[in-house]
Each structure stands twice: as C-alpha cells, then as structure tokens.
Amino acid sequence: MNSGQSLFSQLIDHLPSYEFRLCVERYDGNRRVRSFSCWDQFLCMIFAQLTYRESLRDIVACLRSQQRRLYHAGIRGAVSRSTLADANESRDWRIYADFAQVLIGQARVLYANDDLGVELASTVYALDSTTIDLCMSLFPWARFKPDQHAIKLHTLLDLRGPIPTFIRITPAQIHDVNILDQLTPEPGAFYVLDRGYLDFARLYRWTIQGAFFITRARKNFRFRVLQSHPVNKSTGLQCDQTIALTWFYSLKGHPTHLRRIRYWDAEHSHRLIFLTNNFTLPALAIADLYRRRWQVELFFKWIKQHLRIKAFYGTSENAVKTQVWIAVCSYLLVAIARKRLNLPVNLYTMLQILSVSIFEKTPIKQAFSFDNTPIETDQNPNQLKLLDF
C-alpha cells in the first residue's frame, strides 16, 4: 500500500470501481451530469458516514477544508451543498442498492469460514426488521400512524460475519410477514425468525424447497403431540416433541409434522418454545441457533449508533433510500477492508479511528495497530534511489 495515500484513499481502493460503473450505466445515473458524477456523490456520502457529519453544510465545509486532498481521494467534481442535495434527490437510489449487493457478495466470501459458535456446516440466517422514525413535517410521504412517520428496514443477516445479505426498505405499515414472499429459500440453510414471521402457509414453501426455519410459537398455538423424545433437563431443555397442527387453517397451510422444543432460560428466568421443520439437529443446538438471532438486533443497534441513518441529508424518499444504502455500503466496505488486511481491531474501533484521521497519510495497517511499530511497506519499483550502497 502506498504510504503517501490518505486512509480514505486506501479504504476506497477496496471498492470495485468497475462494478460501480456498471450500476451507474444500468440506471443512466450520469445522464446530463457535467461535473459532479455518481462516483463523486458516493464518495462524499461515504465520507459523511465515516466521519459522522450532521448535515449537508457540515459535509461540504469539512471537504472544502481538505480541498487539495480531494482529487487524490477520488473526488473530482466541485463539492457544493446544492449540488450534493440535488444529487441525493435525483440520482436513482437503486444504483447504490445494486452496488451494495456487489459488496455483499465480496464480504460473504471473506467471512465464509468464520466461527458460528455452533458445529454446523450449513449457512444460518437471521431475519428481522427495525423501524426508523422520521420527522412528520419533513417526511409527509412516510406516514405510519397519526402521530408517527417512519420507514422500516428489513434485513436478512448471514450470522457468519455478520453480513446483511438481503435488505428491503418499506413503509413502516408493511407487516414483517410479507417479506417472506420476497425471499428465495436456500436449500439446506437455516432461517431464524421471531414470532412476527409465523405464517404456516408461507413457511411451508420453505419446507418444500429444503430450507429449515426456527421460530417461536405463539401463546394460543394449538397442536397434537405425536411423539416425545428424551432430553437432558440439566441443560435447560424441558421437552422435544414431534407434533401435528390441529387448527384448520394452520393445518391447511402446513400439512406436514413440526418439531416443538421447550427450553428454560435460567439466565433470564424465561420459558421459550421453539418450532422448527428440522428433525436431525440436537434440541440444544436448535436453542443455541435461536439465541444467535440476537446478532441481527445488535446489527440494527450498531448501524443506528455508528452510521448516519437517524439524521438524513435529504427529505425525499429517494434521498432517504440513497443514504440508507450508502450507509450499508460503508459498513460493508469497512468489513471487507478489515478482513482483507487482517486488521486486529473490531468494526467499532475502526470507525472511531477513521472518524478523526481519515485524511492522515498513514499506512492503513499501521493506523489500526496499537504497538507503535512502523509497518514495513514494499518499495515502489518505479522509485529512483538517490544513493545506492
């Protein structure tokens, strides 16, 4: 890595610029653009995400203070508040959504061998959603309740990483269970869901296609026990049963048998009842997999706290979706760089360091090491030597 590059430039080097150009061409993003391209807009917004800028004026002021470094950082166009605002309002948000899918593909390959915490070779996903509140006067298009405007972020998280593999931004009134219709089940994979996604007819489609689900039963759940299996109650397991549904519509939606597992969580003094269509994994492994669903909640908490998706730089639906997708790209970019460079820090620490030193000309491995030992870099073969001993 060239030690003369800023940390921002070294980070941007991990972006596949050719794939970005394909996304721009797909939606004709640079049509009638004279100086401020989609790439310029993307880099400015990445900068805003990584340095926690509060507003468009804040973004422009900080970038202009580093005017002589912008060209080498990849920002070729003149940055102004009106130009950046117009770009967020008019450039198609699907450009950045498609590019996020490219980064997701790269990140999943890098994190494919990460430890899941359970001895399981299959892919495990967690599906959930979070609501992002919006100002009623500034976002009239996002009406949710009479006293609340909001959008909803639906995310399918690969628990090896964790890396988001599927994201949908919808009006907040869209019920979570409807997202199941947009997912294509992966045969052999496990999907961990909460009770909001319990729809037997939709889940039966996953059973037919060879995918496994783990969810929780509702309080009014009716069933008939067909067989009880022995369990070790010292582990917290209380029962492991093969059951059949008894309600007419439930049985019509999912006519095959299910597995019911009851588990006592001693740490929180809470009883949990799981339903799954997998009959081969040990009952305790099913409970462990559901416990790891909490990672998707941590992802939502992390991205809300450390990236800018609570304060928006534009008020239109296109501007909001653009900002959310670029925030996801920022998360993936940092995750990719961390894995490729084998950096000994977590994502939170990386973001904290980048926020205060993003234009520092320090080798990226040295910036994220804490032993104060300079990192040796390869000598540039094109560099002439003044003295040759």
pLDDT tens digits for range 81-108: 999 999 999 999 999 999 999 999 999 9
- Give the residue-averaged pLDDT of 50-79: 85
Which residue would you say has higher pLDDT here, 54 or 388?
A: 54
Residue 146, φ and ψ in degrees, nearest 5:
-55, -30
Confidence of residue 383 (pLDDT cuts 50, 70, 90): very low
Q: Which of residues 233, 262, 292 is at a domain's end?
A: 292
Per the domain annotation, does 257 fall within a domain? yes
Q: What share of the chain is helix, strand, coil (3-state, %, to 5)?
A: 40, 20, 40
Q: Which residue has the higher pLDDT, 284 or 71?
A: 284
pLDDT at residue 380 in the model: 46
Indicate whether 11 and 92 sit together in one domain: yes
Structure tokens that stand for 43 in this block: 């880099």
- Burial level of 68, CB count in 10 A (0-12/13-18/19+)? exposed
In a domain, 137, yes or no: no
The torsion region of residue 118 among left (phi > 0), alpha (psi -120 to 50) and beta comes to: beta
Q: Is residue 217 part of a domain?
A: yes
Residue found by looking up tokens 């979570």 in the block: 176
Domain, as residue range, for 84: 7-96+312-367
In the predicted structure, residue 180 carries a pLDDT above the cut 70? yes
Looking at the 3D structure of the chain, how many domains does it have? 2
- Is the model's pLDDT at 211 over the cut of 80? yes
Report pLDDT for 89: 92
* 224 confidence band (pLDDT: 50, 70, 90): very high
Which of 1, 16, 17 has its CA nearest to residue 76?
17
Q: What is the mean pLDDT of the chain?
A: 86
Same domain flag for 279 and 316: no
Domain-embedded: residue 154: no
pLDDT of 35 higher than 60: yes
> What pLDDT does 371 receive?
58
> Is 216 within the bounds of a domain?
yes
Q: What is the tens place of the pLDDT at every residue in 323-361? A: 999 999 999 999 999 999 998 888 888 888 888 888 888
CA distance 216 to 219: 10
